[in-house]
Amino acid sequence: MEYFSFGDESGTSVHDECYSIGLLCIPKFKILKFNSRLDFLKKKHGIVGELKWQKIKNSTGQVNICLDIMRLLMKSSYVLHVIVVTKNKYRNWSRDEVGAFYQTYTFLLKNVASRLDGPLSVIIDQRTDKYKKHDETMGIIANHMLAKSGVSRKIHDVKMQNSKAYLGLQAVDILTGIVNTGYLEYLGSTKSISKSKMEVIKKGARLLGWDKLVYDTYPNKDFNIWHFPIETRGIPDTKNISPVFVP
């Protein structure tokens, strides 16, 4: 089976104590169905234009589409992996933020590719970096890492694209934002979190069968949250996911 993998990040601003990178993986033969479903949800909840976590503020429709995207993920064969990085625990972040960011992105990409049952084409959201080939470099390095572990080349390519043109990028933006904001709350960074976002992470935790959206699941092949670096793993705990499809 071949996959499209859509990648985006959340929490990279200077004020955030952690950042997260997510990869949403969708079988290629299901991409049209996925896009149709996302279009339907946007119309149902009155979302006009691009769907982004930053735009979730004070609208019931915005809250509900976030939760519906989580439900869609958990009821499907789609796969989500999110790495949550605590900045002050990750030494490379203080030395070179851009380099550290792409290093963790490559770690995530390699781990996702090693767990999927087929090759993948990766589309990641655009970033304004001085070096213009970070996407291509990530794919090359991740494939080298896979080869060293005995896995043949699985990543066809990695390309940066405009999220306005890809519903998969918009969906992973929302999902990654939810996970990162849940951990920001745990770290005590709640000043910039709107009431609507707090409602999403509270109800999103219930959908996962959790009391709070602060745990890691590593390893989980379908809905995986990976706390990084190693000293943050299992803090505050590692839990299995037991979906509860509440209203």
pLDDT in tens, 104-150: 999 999 999 999 999 999 999 999 888 889 999 999 999 999 999 88
CA distance 169 to 175: 10
CA distance 13 to 194: 16
In this prediction, residues 169-180 reach a mean pLDDT of 98
Q: What amino acid occupies position 139?
A: G
pTM: 0.96
CA of residue 62 relative to chain centroid, distance:
18
Other Cβ atoms within 10 Å of 75 Cβ, number:
10
pLDDT in tens, 14-71: 889 999 999 999 999 999 999 999 999 999 999 999 999 999 988 899 999 999 999 9
CA distance 85 to 216: 12
**238 DSSP 8-state letter:** B
CA distance 58 to 35: 25
Going by pLDDT thresholds of 50, 70 and 90, the confidence category of residue 189 is confident
Residue 247 has pLDDT above 60, yes or no: no
Kindly list the structural domains of the chain, giving each domain's residue range(s) and its CATH number in brackets, ordered by start. 3-232 (3.30.420.10)
DSSP class per residue in 10-39: E--STT-SEEEEEEEEEEGGGHHHHHHHHH
Q: Are 121 and 2 in contact (CB under 8 A)?
A: yes
Residue 239 has pLDDT above 90, yes or no: yes
Task: Specify the pLDDT at position 192.
Answer: 77
